[in-house]
């Protein structure tokens, strides 16, 4: 459980964005404190049990609430959620947070753009791998593909512009850098991020009991592995996709 000390929470700005959606914005900052508020607000909405609730989508500093149908009084829903949030301001908040360590192979076979990152950053390939593995990243949001985790904060020294021309196909498991962010492609798809490695894990499997392995709010680290280790884990994943947790170091953060 991650604990937030007693202090005044941010009061979000509410905006009706459609007949069945409301966006709550917690300022313009992208940082841990703001994101903690985002996740706390998301949990509050989920636990509210409102019968019209369809889905909740948290991002870096917003929470968008989608409803099953257009309500008779949208303003009443907005006011109720804001009031509930405000009344909880004086309480000490806790949030369950998982820490995941994902194995990644940075071998040249899987790091197609490492030289591009080297040229842009003036770092060596080994420095890039080391700096990429050092932080514990926050999964700020899941987008543009099912299960794609946007991770921060990337070391500023690694920031590299996206490719001028995106690739037609980037293989699932690819780890990339796009500007000031890093992430993992969960599916084969077009993409313009700089490819620096690959994980053998299937982060998204629609036929799995839990299709999405990584969730918004998770804390995520990378652990370098060899080509041989990559091949062994990949072989096991192909045979037993449900066994993904066996290849990930998992713990709860306090």
- The answer for residues whose C-beta is within 8 angstroms of residue 64's C-beta and 6 or more apart is 17, 21, 22, 23, 24, 56, 57
pLDDT of residue 8: 57
**Eight-state DSSP code of residue 8:** P
| Residues 82-92: tens digit of each pLDDT | 998 988 754 44
Q: How far apart are CA 220 and CA 217, in angstroms?
A: 9
- The answer for residues whose C-beta is within 8 angstroms of residue 4's C-beta and 6 or more apart is 36, 40, 92, 93, 94, 95
Which ranges of the chain does DSSP label H, i.e. alpha helix? 32-48, 74-87, 114-121, 125-133, 227-239
Q: How far apart are CA 74 and CA 22, in angstroms?
A: 9
CATH 3.60.9.10 is the classification of domain 2-95: no
pLDDT of residue 96: 64
| Residues 203-237: tens digit of each pLDDT | 988 888 888 899 888 899 999 999 999 999 999 99
Instruction: Give the pTM.
Output: 0.75
176 pLDDT band, cuts 50/70/90, is very high
Q: What is the mean pLDDT of residues 158-184?
A: 95
Q: Is 183 helix (H, G, I), strand (E, B) or coil?
A: strand
The answer, yes or no, to whether residue 2 has pLDDT greater than 50, is no
All structural domains of the chain with their residue ranges: 2-95, 98-252
3 pLDDT band, cuts 50/70/90, is very low
Strand 174-178 and strand 194-198: the pairing is antiparallel
CATH superfamily to which 98-252 belongs: Cyclophilin-like (2.40.100.10)
| C-alpha closest to that of 201 among 180, 220, 179 | 220
């Amino acid at each position: 459980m991650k604990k937030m000390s007693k202090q005044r929470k941010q009061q979000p700005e509410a905006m009706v964005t459609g007949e069945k959606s409301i966006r709550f914005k917690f300022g313009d900052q992208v940082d841990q404190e703001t994101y903690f508020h985002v996740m706390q607000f998301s949990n509050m909405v989920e636990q509210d049990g409102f019968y019209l609730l369809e889905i909740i989508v948290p991002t870096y500093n917003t929470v968008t609430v989608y409803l099953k149908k257009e309500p008779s009084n949208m303003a009443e829903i907005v006011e109720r959620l804001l009031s509930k949030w405000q009344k909880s301001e004086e309480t000490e908040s806790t949030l369950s947070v998982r820490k995941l360590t994902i194995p990644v192979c940075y071998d040249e076979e899987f790091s197609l753009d490492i030289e591009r990152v080297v040229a842009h950053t003036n770092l060596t390939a080994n420095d890039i791998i080391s700096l990429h593995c050092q932080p514990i990243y926050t999964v700020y949001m899941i987008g543009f593909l099912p299960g794609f985790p946007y991770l921060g904060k990337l070391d500023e020294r690694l920031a590299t512009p996206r490719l001028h021309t995106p690739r037609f196909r980037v293989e699932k498991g690819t780890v990339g850098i796009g500007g000031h962010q890093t992430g993992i492609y969960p599916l084969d798809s077009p993409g313009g991020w700089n490819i620096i490695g690959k994980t053998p894990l299937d982060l998204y499997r629609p036929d799995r009991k839990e299709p999405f392995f990584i969730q918004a709010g998770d804390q995520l680290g990378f652990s370098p592995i060899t080509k041989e280790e990559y091949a062994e884990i990949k072989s096991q994943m192909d045979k037993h996709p449900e066994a993904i947790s066996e290849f990930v170091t998992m713990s709860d953060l306090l």
